[in-house]
C-alpha cells in the first residue's frame, strides 16, 4: 500500500519548516480528519502530554506543527511538557502511583508494563491503525500488549547504532566497519593508539547505555532469564562478554564512567570521540550546524556479530500511553490516532531525518530511508531489535530489572574493573532475583 509521495511529504512539511504553527493545508487536513474520525473527543476536552526532550530539532518542529493542527481542528487544548529521560521515567511512575498528572506520556522502552493497571486499554486505536497501515511489526505488538490488551501504542522506535568517523577507521587499518566483535576490539585499539579514541556510556543512560550494554551481553550468548523466566545471567557466556568489555574499555577516552545520554553526542561533535553508539542525532546536529568536517566524515553501521553467531541488537522504543486518571481518554485516543495517520506520520518521520523509525509495515519504503545512504541502518531498526526481556516474558519483573539498570551496572563494573567479571555477574544475578521472586 502506497501512502505517500515525495511531493506530499514536502508539501505537508511546509508548516513545520517555518516553526511550530500548522500551515493552511495541514489545518484543513486536520479539520477533514476530525469530521470523519472514529474517535470523538469529550466536550471541552483538554490534554496534557509529557514527552522526552527532542534530540533532533526538525523532529520537534514537525511534532509541534501536528499538535497545533490537531488542537485547532478539534478544539482540544493540548499542553506539551518536555523532560530528559532521567526525569521523565520517575515522573511517569509517580503519575501512575498517585493517579494524577499528564493524560498521555510519550515514554521510553516498555515502561507501560511497570504500571499496566493504571493505563487505558488501547485496543481500538491499535486495531484501527494496524488494519489501515499494513499491520504492526511483531516487536511493536510484543512491547505494547499485556495479554490480549494493548496498554500502549508503539508510536516510534529509535535506532541506536555505532556512529564513527570514517577517516579515523581507515587510519586504524579498516576499509569498512568490522562485522564481528574481534574486529571491533581491534578497531577500538587502533583508534586509541592513533589518538582518536572511541567511548561508550557507562552511567545510567536510559537509551545509549542500555543499548550497547545489552549488545555486549547478548552478542556473547548471555541473557537475563531463560524461556521460563528463571534468572540465568550468572553464566559462562555472560562472563565472557564481561571479559570482552573489560578489554574494550582499556581503549575508551577518559570520562565514560559518568556518561549519560547526551555526553557522547557532545564528545563526538567536539572531535574528542571518534566511535560511539547513538541514534542519528549526532549526524543531524552536525548537518544542521554546518559541521561538514564531521558530517561528511562520519557514518553508521550495524552492531558487530559476536560469538553467538547472529545479530543481537537492542534499540529504543518510544510508546505513547494514556492514564486511567485522564478525564478525557477519547481526546487522548483521537490525538494518538491523528498523529499516526499517513499524512501526519509521514511528516513526523521525515522531520526526524532517521532518528525515529516506524512500527507499521506500510512505512517501509518511506523516502526518509533512501534520500541519504547514511540513514540506511536506521531503516532496519524494528527488524533487528531484540526485546529487553530476552528470552523470557515481558512483564513487571523484566521491566523492573531493566529500569533498575542491572545490565548497565554489571557491564560498567566489569569495564571499569571495580569488580571482576565473575563478581559482577554474580551480583547482577542477586539483584535480578529480587524482582523475579516478588
pLDDT tens-digit profile, the chain (438 residues): 445 443 443 333 333 333 457 778 888 888 999 899 999 999 999 999 999 998 899 999 999 999 999 999 999 999 999 999 889 999 999 999 999 999 999 999 999 999 999 999 999 999 999 999 999 999 999 999 999 999 999 999 999 999 999 999 999 999 999 999 999 999 999 999 999 999 999 999 999 999 999 999 999 999 999 999 999 999 999 999 999 999 999 999 999 999 999 999 999 999 999 999 999 999 999 999 999 999 999 999 999 999 999 999 999 999 999 999 999 999 999 999 999 999 999 999 999 999 999 999 999 989 999 999 999 999 999 999 999 999 999 999 999 999 999 999 999 999 999 999 999 999 999 999 999 986
DSSP annotation of 231 reads: B
Find, among 421, 400, 398, 370, the residue nearest to 246 by Cα.
Answer: 421
Q: What is the pLDDT of residue 8?
A: 41
Q: What are phi and psi of 316, to 5 degrees?
A: -85, 140
Specify the CATH superfamily of domain 161-314+388-437: Periplasmic binding protein-like II (3.40.190.10)
Q: What is the pLDDT of residue 20?
A: 59
DSSP annotation of 151 reads: -
Contact 410, 425 (CB under 8 A): yes
Contact 164, 274 (CB under 8 A): yes
Q: What is the pLDDT of residue 437?
A: 87
The beta strand positions in 188-281, using DSSP E, are 275-278
What does the alpha-carbon distance between residue 378 and residue 224 come to, in Å, rounded to a whole number? 26
Q: Do 161-314+388-437 and 6-159+315-371 have the same topology in CATH?
A: yes
Q: What is the pLDDT of residue 2?
A: 42
CA distances from 187 to 111, 175, 258 (A): 35, 11, 23
pTM: 0.90
Pairing between β-strand 316-322 and β-strand 77-83 as defined by DSSP bridges: unpaired
What does the alpha-carbon distance between residue 174 and residue 187 come to, in Å, rounded to a whole number? 7
CA distances from 144 to 50, 52, 141 (A): 18, 18, 5
Grid cell of 426 as nine digits: 554474580
Interacting residues of 132 by C-beta distance below 8 A, sequence separation 6+: none
Contact 305, 216 (CB under 8 A): no
Domain ranges of the chain: 6-159+315-371, 161-314+388-437
Architecture in CATH for domain 6-159+315-371: 3-Layer(aba) Sandwich (3.40)
Amino acid at each position: 500500500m502506497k501512502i505517500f509521495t515525495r511531493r506530499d511529504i514536502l508539501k505537508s512539511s511546509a508548516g513545520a519548516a517555518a516553526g511550530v504553527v500548522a500551515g493552511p493545508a495541514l489545518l484543513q487536513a486536520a479539520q477533514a480528519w476530525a469530521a470523519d474520525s472514529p474517535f470523538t473527543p469529550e466536550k471541552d476536552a483538554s490534554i496534557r502530554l509529557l514527552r522526552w526532550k527532542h534530540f533532533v530539532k526538525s523532529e520537534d518542529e514537525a511534532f509541534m506543527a501536528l499538535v497545533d493542527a490537531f488542537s485547532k481542528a478539534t478544539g482540544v487544548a493540548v499542553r506539551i511538557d518536555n523532560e530528559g529521560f532521567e526525569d521523565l521515567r520517575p515522573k511517569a511512575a509517580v503519575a501512575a502511583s498517585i493517579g494524577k498528572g499528564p493524560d498521555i506520556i510519550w515514554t521510553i522502552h516498555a515502561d507501560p508494563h511497570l504500571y499496566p493497571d493504571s493505563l487505558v486499554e488501547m485496543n481500538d486505536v491499535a486495531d484501527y491503525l494496524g488494519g489501515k497501515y499494513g499491520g504492526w511489526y511483531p516487536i511493536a505488538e510484543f512491547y505494547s500488549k499485556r495479554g490480549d490488551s494493548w496498554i500502549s501504542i508503539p508510536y516510534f522506535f529509535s535506532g541506536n547504532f555505532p556512529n564513527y568517523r570514517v577517516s579515523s577507521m581507515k587510519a586504524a587499518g579498516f576499509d569498512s566497519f568490522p562485522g564481528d566483535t574481534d574486529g571491533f576490539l581491534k578497531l577500538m585499539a587502533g583508534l586509541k593508539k592513533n589518538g582518536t579514541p572511541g567511548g561508550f556510556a557507562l552511567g545510567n543512560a536510559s537509551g545509549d547505555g542500555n543499548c550497547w550494554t545489552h549488545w555486549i551481553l547478548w552478542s556473547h550468548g548471555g541473557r537475563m532469564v531463560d524461556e521460563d523466566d528463571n534468572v540465568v545471567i550468572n553464566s559462562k557466556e555472560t562472563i565472557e562478554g564481561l571479559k570482552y568489555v573489560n578489554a574494550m574499555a582499556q581503549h575508551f577516552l577518559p570520562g565514560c564512567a559518568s556518561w549519560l545520554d547526551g555526553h557522547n553526542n557532545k564528545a563526538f561533535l567536539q572531535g574528542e570521540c571518534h566511535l560511539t553508539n547513538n541514534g542519528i542525532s549526532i549526524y543531524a546536529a552536525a548537518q544542521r550546524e554546518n559541521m561538514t568536517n564531521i558530517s561528511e566524515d562520519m557514518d553508521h553501521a550495524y552492531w558487530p556479530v559476536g560469538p553467538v553467531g547472529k545479530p543481537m541488537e537492542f534499540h529504543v522504543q518510544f510508546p505513547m500511553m494514556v492514564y486511567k486518571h485522564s478525564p478525557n481518554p477519547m481526546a487522548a485516543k483521537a490525538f494518538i490516532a491523528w498523529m499516526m495517520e499517513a499524512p501526519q506520520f509521514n511528516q513526523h518521520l521525515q522531520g526526524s531525518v532517521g532518528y525515529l523509525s516506524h512500527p507499521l509495515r506500510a512505512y517501509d519504503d518511506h523516502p526518509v530511508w533512501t534520500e541519504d545512504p547514511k540513514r540506511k541502518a536506521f531503516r532496519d531498526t524494528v527488524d533487528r531489535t531484540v526485546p529487553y526481556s530476552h528470552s523470557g516474558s515481558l512483564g513487571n519483573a523484566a521491566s523492573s530489572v531493566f529500569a533498575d539498570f542491572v545490565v548497565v551496572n554489571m557491564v560498567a563494573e566489569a569495564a571499569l574493573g571495580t569488580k571482576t567479571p565473575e563478581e559482577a555477574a554474580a551480583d547482577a544475578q542477586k539483584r535480578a532475583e529480587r524482582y523475579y521472586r516478588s
